């Protein structure tokens, strides 16, 4: 995602769907970008994100920011929850200065990760999960229809790394809010379906992602 954004050292940028601030933390660790502004629809998620100079709880369809107020805008793993991604990406482009970069990333349509989310997580959480996922072409079309220029897309397999199977279980239980009574055996079978495997003294879970960037 950071490669798509190409943030310069003084770029003020928007992290939409910021959650706990993981993308902004990675940018800071790598010395990329200037001040990051975090925006999420969940106050609870943003409450634990200390990396931002400014945090905003807002509807993604009506962002509370001025036109062209950012040098770049990113949205990672949030658009699959949105009914009208065209409108949200349009808002990202509105608040990004001309020539700035807008980048979106999410789970790839048809991947084992998408099935895990929309089948296993959907069945074992109180809120359920029915994500709207896209392939590279589908995501690029949304960005271009919203007004993005010179859209470029790519698919990557991103490995999540754990010290053991138990660590993978605990992480997924917490991240996806699985019901406490969800049996370990069922979770293990679901993670094996995504591709959880041991290799070189570590366990990896391959997460298939799609990234698209464009100029505002």
Structural domain count, the chain = 1
Confidence band for 172, pLDDT divided at 50, 70 and 90: very high
Q: Which position has the token pair 């929850």? A: 81
Q: Which tens digits make up the pLDDT trace of 16-67?
A: 999 889 999 999 999 999 999 999 998 988 888 889 989 999 999 999 999 9
Q: Hey, what are 124's tokens?
A: 């074992």
Model confidence, pTM: 0.93
Domain harbouring 66, CATH code: 3.40.50.150
- Domain limits for position 131: 2-215
DSSP-based helix, strand, coil % in the chain, nearest 5: 35, 30, 35
Between β-strands 70-76 and 13-16, what pairing exists: parallel, antiparallel or unpaired?
Answer: parallel
Q: In angstroms, rounded to a whole number, what is the distance separating the alpha carbons of residues 140 and 150? A: 9
Centroid of chain to Cα 69: 22
Phi, psi of 191 (to 5 degrees): -70, -35
């Amino acid at each position: 995602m950071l490669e798509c954004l190409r943030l310069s050292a003084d770029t003020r940028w928007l992290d939409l769907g910021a959650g706990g601030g993981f993308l902004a933390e990675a940018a800071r660790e790598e010395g990329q970008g200037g001040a990051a502004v975090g925006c999420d629809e969940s106050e609870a998620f943003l409450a634990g994100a200390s990396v931002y100079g400014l945090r905003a709880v807002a509807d993604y369809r009506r962002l509370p920011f001025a036109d062209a107020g950012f040098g770049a805008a990113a949205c990672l793993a949030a658009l699959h929850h949105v009914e009208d991604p065209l409108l949200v990406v349009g808002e990202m482009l509105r608040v990004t200065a001309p020539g700035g970069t807008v980048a979106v990333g999410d789970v790839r349509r048809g991947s084992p990760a998408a099935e895990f989310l929309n089948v296993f997580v959907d069945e074992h959480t109180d809120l359920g999960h029915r994500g709207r996922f896209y392939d590279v072409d589908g995501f690029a079309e949304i960005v271009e229809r919203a007004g993005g220029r010179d859209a470029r897309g790519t698919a990557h397999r991103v490995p999540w790394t754990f010290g053991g199977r138990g660590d993978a279980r605990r992480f997924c239980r917490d991240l996806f809010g699985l019901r406490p009574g969800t049996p370990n055996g069922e979770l293990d079978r679901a993670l094996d379906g995504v591709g959880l495997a041991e290799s070189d003294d570590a366990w990896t879970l391959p997460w298939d992602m799609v990234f698209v960037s464009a100029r505002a």
